[in-house]
Amino acid sequence: DAWSDAKGQLHMDSQQDYQLLGARKAPEGLYLLFRRAFSTCDPKDYLIEDGTVHLIYGILEKPVPSLQAINISAMQRGLQRVQLLKPNITIPELPRDTQTMEITAPGVVIPSQETTYWCYMAELPEGFLKHHIIKYEAVITAGNEALVHHMEVFQCAAEFDSFPHYSGPCDSKMKPERLNYCRHVLAAWAMGAQAFYYPEEAGLAFGGPGSSRYLRLEVHYHNPLVIKGRRDSSGIRLYYTASLRPYDAGIMELGLVYTPVMAIPPGEDSFILRGYCTDKCTQLALPAAGIRIFASQLHTHLAGRQVVTVLARGGREQQVVNADGHYSPHFQEIRMLKEVVAVFPGDELITTCTYNTEDRSRATVGGFGIMEEMCVNYVHYYPQTQLELCKSAMDPGYLHRYFNLVNRFNDEEVCMCPEVSIPQQFYSVPWNSFNRDVLRSLYGFAPISMHCNKSSAVRFP
């Protein structure tokens, strides 16, 4: 049991909390079995929590005579993100008529660059009837385990009769615009995630009337060594059944609307934004018996560090729906909750995201780009309702007042011209402590614009 200082030097811990139970060598490496309390009350030990844990490992070139001879910063190191504490939930048995379907990349040559998002369009057979997805898991091409970072399968919008075939980078100018209408998540996997099972009383419906036949697979390749010529056919295997379960599962987006109105100043170590699913929306959209949330997928882009959603009732916080105090945008998986969360009409769901922009020189605005930001919790629940999006953003009118105030105190440095976009206005703000503090306060007290939308993107009245 040791700890490292700021220079990477290892020191023996005065409080020994680890117990080595066994060790063995194998052709593929060294296996260690040890025991440690999740919380040791030792400031030099890591508190093991429910969310993401970043496991850092180092490889020694040769044996060392003592602990003092090890310096972490000089070692060859690696990182693996995992969820160590998974809920103790019984895995349901699959019915006898379970079938499988693989949505996989078509022998893609992984581009020789560090980051690639690859999009591939697939389609269900003609006349495919309604089924329930009851399980899914990753299918990774052997040898590519370190390159396939995360994957998602999206279903396309039912209002379009057809979607163009496409296999290529998601950010390519050649990508058909219509693919942007394939945003309904069916399955999501991140490196290290295990198979996902639906509870035995619910399944995710796909196929049949009112459901698009078209699916979009998105694969994030992380190729830091810029390996060339590697082929990949990774994807996701869906397990589905025609024996429909009692409830259709639904997926609802909570958090912030994708808008540049919500922004984070540069150089911030911990900047907080909140999105609200208000009592008015749940009162309008949820059935009298409420819904049951059983799983959750938290989502931000690269600046996200913490995400939490809480349930409030009658103005008081009731319980945490899902929280990750060590969130990583590189490890996004759908996680089963320890216990099902009941949400009733009139309840509120508040999603809080914490961001770090210390490595950025200009403001980060909300939006779809990877260098823009999001604050989302995709909650999986039953029974399915028409409510697909319950999010908010600050009333845009108050942003105009903010820029007016900045101009008054900064000698007209921010252009308020109609032709200048909100991102450009944010980029021109001089980020002194006054402008930062005012923006932070504004997001805390300004009225919000509520989005309470059906799956057709039509708002509830």
Q: Cα–Cα distance between 271 and 260 in angstroms, integer?
A: 16
| Stated length of the chain | 461
| Beta-strand pair 196-197/115-123 | unpaired
Write the pLDDT tens digit of every residue in 187-204: 888 777 788 999 999 999
378 is catalytic: no
Write the pLDDT tens digit of every residue in 239-264: 999 999 999 998 899 999 999 999 99
Q: Cα–Cα distance between 336 and 255 in angstroms, integer?
A: 19
Residues of the chain with pLDDT under 70: 411-418, 455-458, 461
- Half-sphere exposure in the Cβ direction for 397 (13 Å, CA): 4
- The reported pLDDT for the residue numbered 415 is 67
From the candidates 18, 117, 166, 398, which is the catalytic residue? 117
**What residues are paired with 381 via a beta bridge?**
250, 293
- The reported pLDDT for the residue numbered 455 is 63
Residue 425 belongs to what H/E stretch?
helix 422-427
- In the chain the domains, ranked by start, together with CATH numbers, are 2-82 (no CATH), 99-245 (2.60.120.310), 249-394 (2.60.120.230)
Q: Cα–Cα distance between 156 and 116 in angstroms, integer?
A: 22
- The reported pLDDT for the residue numbered 81 is 86
Q: Which amino acid is at 186?
A: L
- The reported pLDDT for the residue numbered 339 is 92
From the candidates 132, 149, 150, 299, which is the catalytic residue? 299
Pair of tokens at residue 236: 């996701």
Distance, CA of 390 to chain centre: 17
DSSP letter string, 388-423:
EEEEEEE-HHHHHHHHHHHHHHTTS-S---TTS-HH
| Beta-strand pair 247-256/167-169 | unpaired
Predicted model pTM: 0.83
- The reported pLDDT for the residue numbered 416 is 64
117 is catalytic: yes
- The reported pLDDT for the residue numbered 393 is 96
User: Which residue carries 């997001």 as its tokens?
Assistant: 443
- The reported pLDDT for the residue numbered 457 is 60
- The reported pLDDT for the residue numbered 414 is 66
274 phi and psi angles, rounded to 5 deg: -125, 140
Is 322:309 a contact under the CB 8 Å cutoff?
A: yes
